Amino acid sequence: MQSPKKVLIIGINGFIGHHLLQRILNDTMWSVTGVDIGDDRVTPYLNDKRFAFHKADMTKERALIESLVKQSDVVLPLAAVATPQLYMTQPLRVFELDFEENLPIVRHCVKYGKRVIFPSTSEVYGMSPDSEFHPDHSPFVVGPTSKIRWIYSTSKQLMDRIIWAYGRDHGLDFTLFRPFNWIGVGLDSLEAGQARVITKFLGNILRGEDILLVDGGIQRRSFTHIDDSMDALMKIIENKNNIASSKIYNIGNPKNNHSIRELAEMLLALAPSYPHFKKQAHKVKIVDISSQNHYGDGYQDVQNRTPYIENTRKDLDWDPRVSMQDALERTYQAYMAQLEKNAPVEL
Size of the site for ligand UGA (CB under 6 A): 21
HSE (side-chain half, CA atoms, 13 Å) at 239: 19
Answer yes or no: are the C-beta atoms of 252 and 179 closer than 8 Å.
Answer: yes
The least CB distance from residue 233 to ligand UGA, in Å, is: 14
- Closest contact distance (angstroms) between CB of 181 and ligand UGA is 4
Which C-beta is closer to ligand UGA: that of 259 or that of 311? 259
In three-state secondary structure terms, 263 is: helix
What gap in Å lies between CA 33 and CA 253, rounded to an integer? 30
Binds ligand UGA (CB under 6 A): choice among 181, 229, 304, 312: 181
Residue positions annotated with a catalytic role: 123, 305
Asked whether 256 and 222 are in contact (CB, 8 A), the reply is yes
When asked if residue 192 is in the footprint of ligand UGA (CB under 6 A), the reply is no
Binding characters for ligand UGA, 267-296, by CB under 6 A (x = yes) = ------------------------------
226 is an interface residue for ligand UGA by CB under 6 A: no
- Tell me how far apart the alpha carbons of residues 21 and 189 are, in angstroms, rounded to a whole number: 17
Are 287 and 76 in contact by the 8 Å Cβ rule? The answer is no
First to last CA, the chain: 35
CB 192 within 8 A of CB 86: yes
Residue 214 binds ligand UGA, judged by CB under 6 A: yes
Please report whether residue 180 would count as binding ligand UGA according to CB under 6 A. Answer: yes
Q: Minimal distance in Å, beta carbon 121 to ligand UGA?
A: 4
11, 17, 34, 84: which one contacts ligand UGA (CB under 6 A)?
Answer: 84
Nearer to ligand UGA, 260 or 328 (CB): 260
Tell me if 135 sits within 8 A of 157, measured CB to CB.
no
Q: How far apart (Å, rounded) are the C-alpha atoms in residues 246 and 173?
A: 6
Q: How far is the CB of 82 from ligand UGA (least distance, A)?
A: 4
Task: Identify which of residues 245 and 311 has a Cβ nearer to ligand UGA in the complex.
Answer: 311
CB 140 within 8 A of CB 124: yes
Judged by CB under 6 A, the chain residues 86 through 125 that form the site for ligand UGA are: 121-123
**CA 110, 111, 117, 123: dihedral to nearest 10 degrees?**
-60
- Would you tell me which residues interact with ligand UGA (CB under 6 A)? 82, 84, 121-123, 152, 179-182, 196-197, 200, 212-214, 217, 219, 221, 260, 301
